[in-house]
Amino acid sequence: MSFLKKLFGGGSSSAAAPAGPKRQLEYNGFLIAATPYKEGGQWQTCGTLTKTIAGEVKQHRFIRADRFADEEAASDHAILKGQQIVDQLGERVLS
């Protein structure tokens, strides 16, 4: 029965709304926030990049395929991925 509920939208999804940031880091003018969420019994790498440009707060959410057994490892990886995105794309990620 629970299979049918999930199939037709009756079940809840933990991926729909990650909880608040588990870890944050200021990096090259960006605020990187790790927001991993539980998916399939593991923690999915997820985070946000936020920066204020000309008085406007802009944000980019990223999700990666990497999964980890514990939340702390997923948070650490999200911070590393956020740094990598900032290094490679800079402010272009926000456009």
Give the C-alpha separation, 58 to 90, whole Å: 13
Check pLDDT > 80 for residue 5: no
When the pLDDT of each residue in the chain is averaged and rounded to a whole number, the result is 86
Residues 28-66 have pLDDT tens digits of 999 999 999 999 999 999 999 999 999 999 999 999 999
What pLDDT does residue 19 have?
Answer: 61
Domains of the chain: 18-94 (3.30.160)
Give the C-alpha separation, 2 to 8, whole Å: 10
Does this model's pTM top 0.85? My answer is no
